[in-house]
Structure 1
Amino acid sequence: MTSVVGTAGEKRILVAALEEQRQAVLWKLEDLDDERLRQPLVPSGTSLLGIAKHLASVENGWFGRTFGRANEEVPDESLAEDPHAEWRIHPWETTAGVLAYYARARAASDAVVADLKLTDRGTDRHGAAVSLRWVLVHMVQETARHAGHADVLRELLDGRTGERPAS
């Protein structure tokens, strides 16, 4: 984040922090073929493309469902049948399709953030009231956590490390 953002208002700082983590995740997916993006490298079956799918579903849920907006979250019924549904990349899902899903989720989330104040409240999936501020902080944490996972997976694939391209 630049120094201008570092002295901006709270909402702008939170949005910039989330976007920085989103870009770190996307950078980890760059320059890899479909096979490598789908390749699970840890016993849980996590893949780089699975991380993007999970983050898209989570953004849809926290920004869309919580604030009563239309969203493309992986349905609860799918998760009841397969708890890893939002992580699993099915043979019929394309890399372009998953990346488009993540792009739509980010755009929809950004629209919610633009429409609301940090103090506006929504209801989480368990019925608890949460503010937009809380959701933004939570999504910065969630995305950063998975950016770290992506960093490890990418290093295992081809040795690339770091949080962004070298300047």
Structure 2
Amino acid sequence: MTTSGAGHTAGEKNILHASLNRHRDAVLWKLDGLDDEQLRRPMTPSGTTLLGLVKHLASVEYGWLVETFGRAGEPLWFDPYKDEDMSVAPGETTEQIVAFYARARAAADRTIAELPLDAPGRPAWRDVSVSLRWTLVHMIEETARHAGHMDILRELIDGATGDHRPVTEA
């Protein structure tokens, strides 16, 4: 989904959603042109990989923007509470992880479209109530933070830099 220019003068929900989409798109752009080995290559002492960050972001989109608001997510094949969402197992494919992220985004987008910003939610893993507005801001922060990590990892892999896909002239 390309969001360049979207949301600059829209209502609050549309602005927040456009900001989230901009960072989501940057996450996917960081994968472009890399092979499977590069996407899985641990680039930090903790083992952080580009593909692991995508898996993590999919997991937190389901948690914060789907399950928190009482909507059904998909069954996970890993345990995010044991940080299994930050790593990619040998049997997991790039296509599987990217498709997982696409499904998480679509499910989250349905929540965003269907609920007002003041809709209450309650994450199962925390004893707190949150609004959709707070959750959108949180997901923008989370996605932007990890997109920044991905920018650094990508630069270490092949020297490519930039926080967002360049706009190409038609």
Smaller-chain TM-score range? over 0.9
Match of 2:138, SS state, is helix
Aligned to 2:105: 106
Q: 1:79 to 1:23 in 2, by over 3 A?
A: closer
Q: Which amino acid aligns with 2:79?
A: S
Partners of 2:75 and 2:144 lie apart in 1 by 20
Match of 2:130, SS state, is strand
TM-score by length of 1: 0.92
Partners of 2:48 and 2:62 lie apart in 1 by 20
Give the CA deviation at 1:73.
6.7
Partners of 1:73 and 1:139 lie apart in 2 by 21
Alignment of 1:118-129 (within 5 A): 118-124=117-123, 125-129=125-129
Give the CA deviation at 1:127.
2.7
Match of 1:139, SS state, is helix
Q: Which amino acid aligns with 1:161?
A: T
TM-score by length of 2: 0.91
Aligned to 2:40: 38
Ranges of 4+ aligned residues in structure 1 off by more than 4 Å: none
Aligned to 1:149: 149
Q: Give the conservation status (yes or no) of the 8 Å contact 1:61–1:73.
A: no
Aligned to 1:55: 57
The alignment yields a C-alpha RMSD, in angstroms, of 1.6
Name structure 1 gaps, 5 residues minimum: none
Aligned to 1:88: 87
